């Protein structure tokens, strides 16, 4: 993953739990980097170690950390650093989600070595849809859930999110049922 992801985790921990706790996260993670360059790719293992260490330090589950980070990614990182890109995604939650399958194509112009997930949409109905999430990276479905919660907050729409299929149950991807 790119350094911007690791920097964003750092910003999340410092903003919500303080610099001392970030220092503890770095120590527990065993990661030697103490500074991440946003535009540089890093091994995915670093991000997983940071999430695991943050969970230990904050005494929550890794899924809790990933969900919180997903919200942070939308409401802080994306809106502050990629405001134009976020605004071009749509004027409401449904438009944004319908445009999500093409979203990473635009991001790859900024980060050409990105290995993005793939999203597909199905079962569109008034006030909801199913979001299919395909990724080469395991275990990030709660990050996606956090992103969806963050998008709901960004558009000021309460969302209900149900994970109806997941890879851990033998499927080839996750499916989120989203209603608003």
Check whether residue 97 and residue 166 sit in a common domain. yes
* 112 Ramachandran zone, left/alpha/beta (phi>0; psi -120 to 50): alpha
In a domain, 142, yes or no: yes
Check whether residue 56 and residue 96 sit in a common domain. no
Give me the domain span that covers residue 53.
3-60
Check whether residue 108 and residue 169 sit in a common domain. yes
Burial class of residue 63, CB neighbours in 10 A (0-12, 13-18, 19+): middle
Check whether residue 34 and residue 101 sit in a common domain. no
Check whether residue 98 and residue 175 sit in a common domain. yes
Cα→Cα distances 6→3, 79, 101, 167, Å: 5, 17, 24, 25
In a domain, 28, yes or no: yes
Res. 146: pLDDT tops 90? yes
Check whether residue 116 and residue 168 sit in a common domain. yes
In a domain, 168, yes or no: yes
Check whether residue 95 and residue 149 sit in a common domain. yes
Number of separate domains in the chain: 2
Res. 23: pLDDT tops 90? yes
Report pLDDT digits (tens) over 58-80.
999 999 999 999 999 999 999 99
Check whether residue 118 and residue 39 sit in a common domain. no
Structure confidence at residue 52 (pLDDT): 97
Res. 43: pLDDT tops 90? yes
Check whether residue 123 and residue 170 sit in a common domain. yes
Structure confidence at residue 115 (pLDDT): 87
In a domain, 167, yes or no: yes
In a domain, 83, yes or no: no
In a domain, 79, yes or no: no
Check whether residue 55 and residue 100 sit in a common domain. no
Res. 107: pLDDT tops 90? no
In a domain, 70, yes or no: no
Structure confidence at residue 108 (pLDDT): 78
Stretch 31-56: mean pLDDT: 93
* 127 Ramachandran zone, left/alpha/beta (phi>0; psi -120 to 50): left
In a domain, 76, yes or no: no
Check whether residue 39 and residue 116 sit in a common domain. no
Structure confidence at residue 154 (pLDDT): 97
Rounded Cα distance between 140 and 168, Å, is: 12
Check whether residue 33 and residue 101 sit in a common domain. no
């Amino acid at each position: 993953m790119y350094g911007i992801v690791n920097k964003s985790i750092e910003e999340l921990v410092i903003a919500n739990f303080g610099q001392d706790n970030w220092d503890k996260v770095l120590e527990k993670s065993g990661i030697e980097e103490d500074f991440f360059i946003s535009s540089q790719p890093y091994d995915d293992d670093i991000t997983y170690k940071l999430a695991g260490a943050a969970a230990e330090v904050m005494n929550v589950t890794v899924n809790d950390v990933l969900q919180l980070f997903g919200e942070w990614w939308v409401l802080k990182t994306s809106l502050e650093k990629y405001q134009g890109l976020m605004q071009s995604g749509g004027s409401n939650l449904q438009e944004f989600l319908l445009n999500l399958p093409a979203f990473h194509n635009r991001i790859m112009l900024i980060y050409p070595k990105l290995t993005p997930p793939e999203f597909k949409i199905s079962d569109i109905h008034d006030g909801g849809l199913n979001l299919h999430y395909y990724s080469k990276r395991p275990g990030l479905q709660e990050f996606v859930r956090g992103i969806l919660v963050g998008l709901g907050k960004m558009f000021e729409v309460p969302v209900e999110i149900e994970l109806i299929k997941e890879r851990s149950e033998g499927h080839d991807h996750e499916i989120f049922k989203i209603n608003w």
